[in-house]
Structure 1
Amino acid sequence: MEESVWSASGSEYDASRHGSGGSRSLRLVDGRAAAIGPPPAMPWERRYRAWIVAADGLVTVLVVTIGALFIGDFQRFDEPHALGTAAAVLASLPASRAWSRNGLGEGAEEFRRVGRGLVLAGVLVALGGLLAGALEVKPWVFYVVPCVALVLLPVRYALRRFVHRLRRQGQCLLPVMAAGSPETVRDLVERTRAMPHVGWRVEAACLPAGTGDHGDIDGVPVIGTLDELAEHVARGGYRVLAVTADQYWTPRRLQQLAWNLETTAAELVVAPVLMEIAGPRLNVSGVFGMPLLRVTAPAFTGWRRLVKEVVDRIGAALLLLAAAPVMIGIALAVKADDRGPVIYRQQRVGRDGTAFTMLKFRTMVTDADTVRTSLLRHNEGSGPLFKIRNDPRVTKVGALLRRYSLDELPQLFNVLAGQMSLVGPRPPLPEETAQYAPEVHRRLLVKPGMTGLWQVSGRSELSWEESVRLDLRYVEDWSLALDMVILWKTFRAVTVGRGAY
Structure 2
Amino acid sequence: MTVLEMAAPTKERPQQHRRVAPERAGGVSARRKWQSAYLRRLAITDTIIVAAVVFLAQWWRFGSDADVVDGEAFGHFSYTALSFALIIGWFAVLRVFRTRSPRVIGSGPEEYRLIAVGTLRLFGLIAIASLLLHLEIARLYLAVAFPMGLTALIASRWIWRRVIARERARGEFRTAVLVVGVRGAVVDLARNLERDDAHGYRVVGVCVPGYGGDVGEVVTVNGRDIPVLGDEHSVTDAIEQVGADTVAVTASERFGPERLRTLAWDLERDHVDLVVAPGILDVSGPRLSMRPVAGFPLIHVERPRYHGAQKFTKTTFDIAFSTVVLAVISPVLLAAAIAVKLTSKGPVLYKSERMGLDGQPFPMLKFRSMVQNADSQVTALMKENEGAGVLFKMRDDPRVTTVGRFMRRYSIDELPQFVNVLRREMSVVGPRPPLRREVEMYDDAVSRRLLVKPGVTGLWQVSGRSDLSWEDTVRLDLSYVDNWSMMGDVMIVAKTLKAVVGSDGAY
Question: What is the TM-score with the length of structure 2 in the denominator?
Answer: 0.88
How far did residue 246 of structure 1 move? 5.5
Deviates most, 338-347 or 158-167: 338-347
How far did residue 455 of structure 1 move? 0.8
Contact 2:27 2:243 in 1 (8 A): no
CA distance in 1, matches of 2:327, 2:169: 39
CA distance in 1, matches of 2:98, 2:231: 38
The aligned residue for residue 45 of structure 1 is: 35
Contact 2:176 2:203 in 1 (8 A): yes
Contact 1:206 1:226 in 2 (8 A): yes
Going from structure 1 to structure 2, the CA distance change for 1:65 and 1:21 (only over 3 Å counts) comes to: farther
The aligned residue for residue 499 of structure 1 is: 505
Contact 1:349 1:429 in 2 (8 A): yes
The aligned residue for residue 29 of structure 1 is: none
CA distance in 1, matches of 2:265, 2:372: 69
The aligned residue for residue 331 of structure 1 is: 337
How far did residue 261 of structure 1 move? 1.9
The aligned residue for residue 305 of structure 1 is: 311
Contact 2:112 2:154 in 1 (8 A): yes
Please give the residue correspondences for 1:25-174 in structure 2 after superposition, counting only pairs within 5 Å.
42-73=32-63, 75=65, 78-174=79-175
How far did residue 20 of structure 1 move? 6.2
Contact 2:31 2:174 in 1 (8 A): no
Going from structure 1 to structure 2, the CA distance change for 1:183 and 1:15 (only over 3 Å counts) comes to: closer
The aligned residue for residue 483 of structure 2 is: 477
Paired residue secondary structure (1:453): coil
How far did residue 340 of structure 1 move? 2.9
Deviates most, 88-97 or 168-177: 88-97
How far did residue 272 of structure 1 move? 0.8
Deviation track 1:251-284 (CA, whole Å, cap 9, x = no partner) reads 2322222223222121111111212222211111
Deviation track 1:372-394 (CA, whole Å, cap 9, x = no partner) reads 22111211111111111111111
The aligned residue for residue 218 of structure 2 is: 216
CA distance in 2, matches of 1:313, 1:74: 44
Question: Unpaired runs of 5+ in structure 2?
Answer: 1-18, 68-78
Contact 1:282 1:296 in 2 (8 A): yes
Deviation track 1:109-137 (CA, whole Å, cap 9, x = no partner) reads 11111111121122133234324423444
Contact 1:125 1:140 in 2 (8 A): no
CA distance in 2, matches of 1:334, 1:50: 55
Contact 1:241 1:266 in 2 (8 A): yes
Contact 2:369 2:400 in 1 (8 A): yes
Of 343, 353, 356, the match for 1:347? 353
CA distance in 2, matches of 1:338, 1:372: 19
Contact 2:176 2:246 in 1 (8 A): yes
Aligned: 1:367 with 2:373: yes
Going from structure 1 to structure 2, the CA distance change for 1:475 and 1:481 (only over 3 Å counts) comes to: same
Please give the residue correspondences for 1:198-237 in structure 2 after superposition, counting only pairs within 5 Å.
198-210=199-211, 212-214=213-215, 215-218=217-220, 219-233=225-239, 236-237=242-243
How far did residue 211 of structure 1 move? 6.1
Q: Which amino acid aligns with 1:496?
A: G
CA distance in 2, matches of 1:340, 1:76: 69
Contact 1:244 1:270 in 2 (8 A): yes
Aligned: 1:428 with 2:434: yes
The aligned residue for residue 256 of structure 2 is: 250
Paired residue secondary structure (2:207): strand
Of 241, 247, 250, the match for 1:241? 247
Question: Unpaired runs of 5+ in structure 1?
Answer: 1-12, 24-39
Paired residue secondary structure (2:338): helix
The aligned residue for residue 443 of structure 1 is: 449
Paired residue secondary structure (1:243): strand
Aligned: 1:465 with 2:471: yes
Deviation track 1:385-439 (CA, whole Å, cap 9, x = no partner) reads 1111111111111111111111111111111222111111111011110011111
Does 1 or 2 have the higher relative contact order (CA < 8 Å, sep 6+)?
Answer: 2
Question: What is the TM-score with the length of structure 1 in the denominator?
Answer: 0.89
CA distance in 2, matches of 1:303, 1:185: 40
Contact 2:109 2:488 in 1 (8 A): yes
Deviation track 1:2-44 (CA, whole Å, cap 9, x = no partner) reads xxxxxxxxxxx99862536667xxxxxxxxxxxxxxxx95211
Deviates most, 294-303 or 124-133: 124-133
Contact 2:457 2:496 in 1 (8 A): yes
Going from structure 1 to structure 2, the CA distance change for 1:416 and 1:141 (only over 3 Å counts) comes to: farther
CA distance in 1, matches of 2:331, 2:136: 43
CA distance in 1, matches of 2:195, 2:117: 31
Going from structure 1 to structure 2, the CA distance change for 1:360 and 1:76 (only over 3 Å counts) comes to: farther
Paired residue secondary structure (2:392): coil
CA distance in 1, matches of 2:498, 2:369: 22
Contact 1:20 1:42 in 2 (8 A): no
Please give the residue correspondences for 1:257-406 in structure 2 after superposition, counting only pairs within 5 Å.
257-406=263-412
How far did residue 465 of structure 1 move? 0.6
How far did residue 236 of structure 1 move? 4.7
Contact 2:34 2:173 in 1 (8 A): yes
The aligned residue for residue 176 of structure 1 is: 177
CA distance in 2, matches of 1:362, 1:140: 51
